[in-house]
Structure formats: C-alpha cells, structure tokens
Structure 1
Amino acid sequence: MKSFVLTALAGLVGAVQATVQGFDISHYQGSVNFARAYSSGARFVIIKATEGTNYIDPKFSSHYTGATSAGLIRGGYHFAHPDSSSGAAQADYFLAHGGGWSKDGITLPGMIDLESSSGKATCYGLSTSAMVSWIKAFSDRYHSKTGRYPMIYTNYSWWSKCTGNSKSFATTNPLVLARWSSSVGTIPGGWSYQTIWQNADTYTYGGDSDIFNGSLDRLKALAKGS
C-alpha cells in the first residue's frame, strides 16, 4: 500500500510540474536556429506579425517558414496600439498579415501584445473602461473570424493600471503572462493560471523564453482548439 501511494503521489507531482519550453521572436532576431531550438526541447514559438494597422514585421514570413520546417508549433502575435485605430481594425489587419488560425494542429491562436510602447503614455491615453472596450473589440473580431479567442500577453502592472485589473477575459482568452523571474508571481485579471509564462527576456536560440503551463499533449490541444 505504501509503495502504491508513493507512486501515485509521484505521478501527481509530475503532472503538476509538466511544462513545455518555447520562445517568442521578432525581426530583432534576424537569424534563429529553429532546428537547434527543437533539438534542445523547444516545441513552440510565437512570432511577431504586425503592429497597429500599418506595420508588418519584415521577418515574419521567413521566421514562420523556418519554425514550420523545424517541426515547431507556431503562431503570430500583434503589438497593440490602442491609440491609433479601433480594436476591430487592428484584429482585421493582424488576420490579413499572418495572424490567422487553422485547425491543423500546429497553429496557435493569435496573440495580442498589451504593454507600454516607447514614446507612448503607459495606457495610450485611454481610461480603464475604454481600454477594456478596445481589447474586447479586438478579441471579439478575432473570434468572429476564426472561432478562437486570441491569447492575451500582458504583465501584472500594465493590466492592473490600464484595465483596472479587469476580469472580463479570464474565461475566454488564454493568458500569456510576462514576468522575468524565478516564479510566476501574482496573476492578474481573474485568470486562475497562466497558459504561457514569459519567464526571461533571453533564450539561447533567440528571443524571449516562454514556458507552456502543461504537457505537450495540452499544447497540441491548444493548437487544435480542443
């Protein structure tokens, strides 16, 4: 009996601790060794596609092709500029330039990057209610076009200040939490857990380090929409 209990407990601990290494990149990483990243254990990458409604990352296409060839699950992300155009307009632009999703098992739902931007006011001049409405417009448009809600990338400080720590997205949008530390820390916005944790601003094979909170099977399920 004692042996059985210990074995069962070990299995539970292993399940709780299951994670998958990944990373995120943009044109700042001109050359990425996707094959080496895969061989080292990485299984997914999130690639910058667009900003606002007038910028396409010049490396998106080559990065996406390289990630696909290496066998990585991949997806695009959009850097939001809530002060320049509507959330719906930016979702449309993202979808038109690499941010789409298909049920092929290797494509993550798109991600919207919500954080401060150099030279801009922290919350882009929007009130907390206006910011929540902007994010909802982006999210709803993405969902109407793909059947998936986009992942939301943010950090505790920005989300608390700029949305009033809104809980409006906790049951629909997977959270990608940025915290460069040894622990996840406080999770904002009513989310009970983070789907992906950006735990460091460096990764051996390029970009930032990301940790998926679950097993490889669960990562594949996220890609499939199941």
Structure 2
Amino acid sequence: MDTPYPKYRSMRTFTTLLLSLVLAATLLAFGAGPAQADPEVKANPEGIDVSHYQGAINWGAVRSAGIEFAWIKSTEGTSYKDPRFNTNYPAAHAAGVIRGAYHFARPGSSSGATQANYFASSGGAWSADNLTLPGALDLEAGCHGLSQTAMRNWILDFYNTYKSRTGRDVVIYTTRSWWTSCTGNWTGMGTRSPLWVAHWGVSSPAIPVGFPTWTAWQFTDNGRVNGISGAVDRNHFNGSRDRLLALANNT
C-alpha cells in the first residue's frame, strides 16, 4: 500500500530524515558548520626564528603552512628592543604558534646578569600557557673581546639570573665553531640548557662540545614560508610535538 509520501518507503525513513534536518538546523543556529581541518602537525615539528628584518608577518598563514614553533627577537644588549616584537609575540600566540623570545648577547657591553634582567623584563619571561617556550640566548658575532674564562662566567651569570627570574633554563643558540673559539669547548652548560644549534647546508648539525644532543636545529637562513614575504631562518625540533609541548610547559 502506498504511503501519503511516495518518495519515502516507510514512515521510519521519513522520521529519520526529519530528525536529521532538525539537528542540522539547530547546529546552524548555534554557529556550527562543517569541521575545519587543523593546521598541519608533523612528527618532528618545524619552526622559524624572526626579527624586524622579516617585516610584517601573517602568523595565521605561517601556522597554516605547518610551522609549529618560533623564537622571536626581543632584545639586544641592554638598550635595544626589536621594533616588531610587541606585534609578533602576541600575534604568534593568537595563531597557535608555540613561541618564545630570544636575546642577542652583547657580552662586551655589560654583565650577564644585567642583560638577563633586561631580557626577562622586556618580553623574555615565561608563562605556563601551553604556547610559551623558554627564552633563548643568542651567542654569535665573535667573542666580544672576552677571554674564554670571562665568556664562560658571563654565560653562567646570564643563565643563573634568567633562571632566578623565570624558573626556566635559558636555551643556548650557537654554533660549534663559536663555542670552541669563545668558551674553549666548555662542558658546563650541556646539563643545564637545551641547545639550539645553527648549522646550514648539512644533513645533520655539528654539536658543540659538552652538549649531548640538539633540541632545535637552525638548518637554513634562506627558507621560505607562507605568510612571510622574504627569506627566513628555519628550524627542526628534535622530537615529537609532545616533547615540544613538554619544553614549553616545563614538564
């Protein structure tokens, strides 16, 4: 016997369709729509580091391109703050990029403690919000007139002050050659600080003496990423996203 609705062969089918339409209308009323794909998450997260040299950055596009972490220049010495830091730092956070600040060291101009305090007070501090990395100390550009012993003491002074201010071990950014020339292959930081090593154009980085392995590796200074118009430093993270989050959250 035909039903009053010939398109459907049973009242059960019609009822099911009606309930589906009601559910869809309810979801639309509350602003729900089709599921959106999460930004790309890789087994070994990809990162960048930036300063004002990169100009305006579209952090949403950066995150959508698969970039999961970034270090952003905050300070240099005791009187310079990167002019784009106050824009980049919150914008990266809002886009879901796990980010931290970095300080370009000027060991010849003032003590490690003085520069660590300036850094921590100018954006380099840390918060347990699932998106903030510990600050990084950028050690490069020669030995700044210091002996190897004086450089070791300067780094330790910075480290101790930063840890006292933030509760975190500062990340050391350097190269093997700088570490050899300026600290004399000092082994005193390898059990304290994560290593962010710079070594471009190789299949694996040379590790400074005293560090068991690298945590982040800056593998090029000429990378390309959607959301940034020119060249940018690119980095690998040595571990899974869970390990990246553990570094961010001090767990």
The TM-score with structure 1 as length reference comes to 0.88
Whether 2:121 is the aligned partner of 1:106: answer no
Amino acid at match of 1:100: A
The equivalent residue for 1:218 is 243
AA of the residue aligned to 2:126: W
Does residue 181 of the first structure (1) align with residue 206 of the second (2)?
no
Q: Which has the higher contact order (CA 8 A, sep 6+)?
A: 1
Letter in 2 for 1:186: A
Q: Which runs of 5+ in 2 are unaligned?
A: 1-41
Once superposed, what is the RMSD of the aligned Cα atoms? 1.2
C-alpha offsets along residues 162-192 of structure 1, whole Å, 9 cap, x if unaligned?
Answer: 0001110001100000001232332113111
Which amino acid in structure 2 is aligned with residue 114 of structure 1?
L
Give SS of 1:78's match.
Answer: strand
TM-superposed deviation, 1:105: 1.5
Any conservation in 1 of the 2:205–2:217 contact (CA below 8 Å)? no
After the TM superposition, which residues 72-87 of structure 1 pair with which residues of structure 2 at under 5 Å, given as runs? 72-87=97-112
Which one has a bigger Cα radius of gyration? 2
Q: Structure 2 length normalisation: TM-score?
A: 0.79
> How many angstroms does 1:103 deviate by?
1.4
Partner of 1:44: 69
**Which residue number in structure 2 is paired with residue 11 of structure 1?**
none
1:54 equivalent in structure 2: 79
Q: Which amino acid counterpart does residue 204 of structure 2 have in structure 1?
A: V
Alignment of 1:1-226 (within 5 A): 18-116=43-141, 122-205=142-225, 206=228, 207-226=232-251
Secondary structure of the 1:181 match is coil
CA contact (8 A) 2:199 2:206 kept: no
Runs of at least 4 residues of structure 1 off by over 3 A? none
Q: Which amino acid aligns with 1:29?
A: Q
Distance 2:95 2:223 in 1: 17
> 2 CA distance for matches of 1:68 and 1:115?
27
Contact persistence 1:169–1:189 (CA under 8 A): no
Aligned length: 205
Gaps of 5+ in 1: 1-16, 117-121
Shift, 1:18, TM fit: 4.2
Identity %: 50
Partner AA of 1:219 in structure 2:
L
SS of the equivalent of 2:124 reads coil
